[in-house]
Chain A
Amino acid sequence: QKEVEQNSGPLSVPEGAIASLNCTYSDRGSQSFFWYRQYSGKSPELIMFIYSNGDKEDGRFTAQLNKASQYVSLLIRDSQPSDSATYLCAVMDSSYKLIFGSGTRLLVRP
């Protein structure tokens, strides 16, 4: 059973702080990793994907991947109230299916 684990939260941070979201996965053969943001009642929107060990930065977002530890994280710098949402970690398996975690709810306090 391929699993993707996330802390459900909520993770509460003050505006301007760094939010750190974490995810672990069970399938060691996974190659591609995705972070989606989902607002209530809406479908997920892709924030970032990463496939190599290390860090990948895009604006205020940084994805970090450690395949040896089967761990992927998302850092959000200068958090804004508009970042308040549920963040879904997804792992693509060998048949190109996305396995989603249960999501972490982020609350950014003004």
Chain B
Amino acid sequence: GAVVSQHPSWVICKSGTSVKIECRSLDFQATTMFWYRQFPKQSLMLMATSNEGSKATYEQGVEKDKFLINHASLTLSTLTVTSAHPEDSSFYICSASLASGRFNEQFFGPGTRLTVL
């Protein structure tokens, strides 16, 4: 149980285009979803936290107008990278949280590798 999927698994796009990444919790309803970014040989950096039906909360330094997050339902969150540039090339990973006692464990999706040419 507690499976999270992401689509697409990889995408290559031209500079200036927008890219949408989907994150789905397949067998549970997620109270909260998180979006992370990971550059090569670096750790995961939290970009934003989203709850169903409300606006996402962005971490300091993350441009909310560039990284649009929509959390339409308890099983789906999307991240849209608008006007992507080569510096946005990264590994984007979502996670979904199932409130479980005191742990609020996060289940991670397989990630989406974005390459902007």
Residue numbers of A with Cβ under 8 A of B are: 31-32, 41-46, 49, 51, 88, 92, 96-103
Contacts and interface: CB of A to CB of B under 8 A. Distances in A.
11 contacts: A32-B104, A43-B111, A44-B93, A44-B108, A46-B108, A92-B103, A96-B97, A96-B104, A98-B34, A98-B106, A103-B43
Contacts of A43: 93, 108-111
B26 to A, nearest CB: 15
Contacts of B32: 96
Main secondary structure of the interface of A (DSSP, over half): loop
A51 B102 contact: yes
B62 interface: no
Q: Counting chain B CB atoms within 10 Å of each CB, which of A43, A96, A101, A102 scores highest?
A: A43
B19 interface: no
Interface of B: 32, 34, 42-46, 49, 91, 93, 95, 97, 102-111, 113
Nearest to B31: A96
Given A32-B104, A44-B93, 6 more contacts: A42-B111, A45-B108, A46-B105, A51-B102, A98-B44, A102-B43
Contacts of B95: 98
Nearest to A46: B105
Contacts of A32: 102-104
Given A42-B110, A43-B93, A31 B102 contact: yes
Nearest to B49: A97
Contact of B105 (A45, A49, A99, A101): A49
A88 B108 contact: no
B102 A100 contact: no
A51 B101 CA distance: 12
Nearest to A102: B43
B111 A102 contact: no
B43 A101 contact: yes
Q: Counting chain A CB atoms within 10 Å of each CB, which of B43, B45, B105 scores highest?
A: B43
Contacts of B42: 102
